[in-house]
Amino acid sequence: MLSIEFLSQTANGSILYNGPITKQNQPEDYFSLQLLNGHLLIDLNFGNGKNIRRHLKTSGNLADGKWHVIEIRQMSTIEHILEILIDYCPLNSISKQYGECRFMIEFNEDAIFSTNRPLQLGGVALQENEINQQQLPMEYVGNFKGCIRNLRFADELYDLHVDLHSDQSVNLHEGCLLTDLKCQKLSCQSNNGICGADLYQVQCVCKPGRAGPTCTQETTSYDFTYDKQTWTGDRASYATFRHQHKPDNDLAY
């Protein structure tokens, strides 16, 4: 349904907002995703006047200078439950399944989110005096400071390119200065790799077929189709590998 990645060291800030920028006489749909004290704050309203607010206390602080992934989706077309996953939520144990990186929000059966308001990233286009007057339908914690990438909605990846000469976007530029300078020291792209960096580490993420610290090594491939002696596919092909599996005593099913 919706996914987004962000990196920040500031505990409070608006990541995404979709809704009215002034208080309305009639309730109007809106959705807000913010950081409050380093944890996600979600405000949601389906236009019925009842605000759904959840402050999701994850096991770690999300304003830690690392990239984080947020996924929000409806669990099924029958169940009226939104599921929020943080950093893909690896399930190390049943006790960690909900409450640390996986959360649920229930909503009314007849609730349908619908708005034609513009989607706003990193803050809300309001004048300072309007913010002080709390014209928004929910509590606004301030502008986001950091980097945002890979916004997906309904399985569509949004192009975040903006016209810097437009008055609709201010105080931002393409790329992420917090990590781009580190990536300049690696030659990942020339070796079929992509640089992955946060404020603490930098590494090359190699494309399929490449390996090594800077993706200079070619991985080995095998052809299981033909017998090299007869060049026919009549003989069976297989490979056997030995691997060691160490059971995890903490893993529960």
- Span 137-164, pLDDT tens digits: 888 999 999 999 999 988 889 888 766 5
Domain identity same for 130 and 189: no
pLDDT of residue 77: 64
Domain identity same for 115 and 206: no
Note whether residue 172 is domain-resident.
Answer: no
Note whether residue 22 is domain-resident.
Answer: yes
Note whether residue 31 is domain-resident.
Answer: yes
The listed range with the strongest mean pLDDT (23-27, 42-46, 96-100) is 42-46
Query: What is the 3-class SS of 97-164, one letter each residue?
Result: CCCCCEEEEECCCCCCCCCCCCEEECCCCCCHHHHHCCCCCCCCCCECCEEEEEEEECCEECCCCCCC
Note whether residue 32 is domain-resident.
Answer: yes
Structural domain that includes position 68: 2-157
Is pLDDT of 249 > 50? no
Stated pTM of the model: 0.77
Domain identity same for 119 and 26: yes
Domain identity same for 108 and 183: no
Counted domains in the chain:
2
What are the tens digits of pLDDT across the range 162-199?
A: 665 566 677 778 889 889 888 888 888 677 888 889 99
Stretch 223-227: mean pLDDT: 69
Domain identity same for 123 and 183: no
With bands split at pLDDT 50, 70 and 90, how would you rate the model's confidence at 92?
low
Is pLDDT of 231 > 70? no
Domain identity same for 9 and 129: yes
Is pLDDT of 246 > 60? no
pLDDT of residue 164: 55
